[in-house]
Amino acid sequence: MPKKVLLIEDEESLVELLKFRLEASGYGIETALDGEEGINKIKELKPDLVILDITMPKMHGYDVCRLAKANEETRDIPIIMLTAHAQKKDIEEAMESGADTFISKPFEPKDLLEKIEKLLK
């Protein structure tokens, strides 16, 4: 059974690109287009891994991450923050909110796949 990855990202073209790439690599992909939908799907689906944008409608990615990590049922799900915000303070806040790793946009899909594989081992 393929590992289930939840992609929480509001940029639909990036969602489609990542969905295609990750499915081609053997992952089952679920998506959410805003933070509120994202936290609900984390609780409902309990994916193997979450890829999470920071700046989104309805709920900020940092808040989604904090809520997921505060919940006993979802705290162990690895979270990759994927964002255009790549200043030192952004990386620090992502890690403080509970993210397991951070990738800044633009990014190499190969790097994302390597981080996914590492976190799912």
* CATH code, domain carrying 35: 3.40.50.2300
Structure tokens at 107: 């990014």
What's the pTM?
0.91
Residue 88 has pLDDT above 80, yes or no: yes
48-84 per-position pLDDT tens digit:
999 999 888 898 889 999 999 999 999 999 999 988 8
Q: DSSP states of 54-89 as a string?
A: SS-SSS-HHHHHHHHHHSTTTTTS-EEEEES--SHH
Q: Contact at 8 Å (CB) between 112 and 82?
A: yes
What's the domain range around 115?
A: 4-120
Give the range with max mean pLDDT: 20-24, 81-85, 94-98.
20-24
Coil, strand, or helix at residue 106?
coil
> What's the total number of domains in the chain?
1
